[in-house]
Amino acid sequence: MPHDATIANEQEPNHMIIWLDLTIGDPEQHINLKKSFSSQSDPKNETPMKLFDKDEDDILDSVGPVSVDFEGVVFLLAAFKNAERCIECFEENQHKRIFFIVSGSMGQVVVPIILERFPHVFTDSVTNESYNSIYIFCGDRAYHARWALAFRNYVQIFDDETALLPRMVRDIADHFRVEGRRQLNDDPPNYPAAKHRLTWSHELYQRYGKMSDLSIQTELNEVNELLENIEKKTKSSSNEDE
C-alpha cells in the first residue's frame, strides 16, 4: 500500500519529516520544534537525548535522512538549508509519506516545484484527497497566505511554532489511525501492522492532549476500541492454533 508506514521490524520507517529553513542551524531559532526530536527511539524513556543539541551539524550534512524519535515515534528526518538538496531528497523518497516543514521564503520557491513534480506525495492513494501536510512557518502570515492560496489544499501556515508542533503531531496521529484502520480492512487483516500504527497513533494523541486544550477523546476512544479488537482477534486465533 503506497504511503504506508512501517512496522517495527522493518529496517527503516516509511514515513519521514523533511525540514527546509535557512536558519535551521541557528541554536537560537526553532527551539521548541527542535526539542521534539531526539536520538532516543524508546518512547518509554522520559529523558531522551535532544537530537539538535548534539548532532545538528551531522543532520544538516548527512547524505540521507537520519532515524530520530519524534514525540515518541520513530521517524526519518532530513533537514536542509539548501533548496536544491531538499528537492533531491523528495526525488529520492517520493514513495514515503512525507510531512514537510518549510520557512515562508523558501516555501514560496520550493512548494510550487514540489507539488508540480511530486503531487502523489501529498495525495491519498486510496481516496485521492490531498494531504495538507506542508507546514509553512513564517513571520508574516498575511504575506505568505497570498502565494500559498493556490496550494491551500496542501499547506497550513503558522507564525508560532508552539501552534505548528501540536498541529503536526495531531495530523501524524490521524495518519496512523487511518492507516491502522486500512490494515484491518485488508483481506486478510494485517493485525501486527495495524497494531503498530494504532499504537503510534495512541502515543501521539496523548502527546497532543498535553500540548493542546482541544479534546481528542473521540479519536482516542476509536483507537482504543480498535486495539482491543485486535487483541481479541489475535488471542482467539492463537487459541485456535493450540
The β-bridge partners of 130 are 123
Pairing status of strand 97-103 against strand 134-137: parallel
Side-chain-facing half-sphere of 133: CA atoms under 13 Å: 27
Kindly report, residue by residue over 199-226, the tens digit of the pLDDT.
Answer: 999 999 998 988 888 888 999 999 999 9
Q: Are 172 and 72 in contact (CB under 8 A)?
A: no
Taking Cα atoms as reference points, which of 170, 230, 171 lies closest to residue 196? 230
Strands (E), the chain: 15-20, 37-38, 66-70, 73-80, 97-103, 134-137, 155-158
CA pair distance 2, 25, nearest whole angstrom? 33
| Fold of the domain spanning 15-160 | Rossmann fold (3.40.50)
Which phi and psi angles does 10 have, rounded to 5°?
Answer: -75, 160
CA 153 to chain centre: 17
- Where exactly are the structural domains of the chain? 15-160, 170-241
Q: Are 157 and 144 in contact (CB under 8 A)?
A: yes
Kindly report, residue by residue over 146-179, the tens digit of the pLDDT.
Answer: 999 999 999 999 998 889 989 999 999 999 999 9
Which residue's C-alpha cell is 492507516?
A: 179
Mean pLDDT value across residues 123-139? 96
Q: How far is CA 221 from CA 73, 82, 150, 177, 226, in A?
A: 20, 42, 36, 11, 9
Please report the pLDDT score of residue 36 as a whole number.
Answer: 75
Name the pTM for this structure: 0.83
Residue 111 grid coordinates: 512548494
Residue 136 has pLDDT above 80, yes or no: yes
Please report the pLDDT score of residue 242 as a whole number.
Answer: 52
- Kindly indicate the confidence band of residue 3, based on its pLDDT and cuts at 50, 70 and 90: very low
Residue 6 has pLDDT above 50, yes or no: no
Taking Cα atoms as reference points, which of 70, 85, 74 lies closest to residue 35? 70
Taking Cα atoms as reference points, which of 134, 130, 57 lies closest to residue 103? 134
Kindly report, residue by residue over 45-77, the tens digit of the pLDDT.
Answer: 444 434 444 445 555 555 567 878 887 788 888
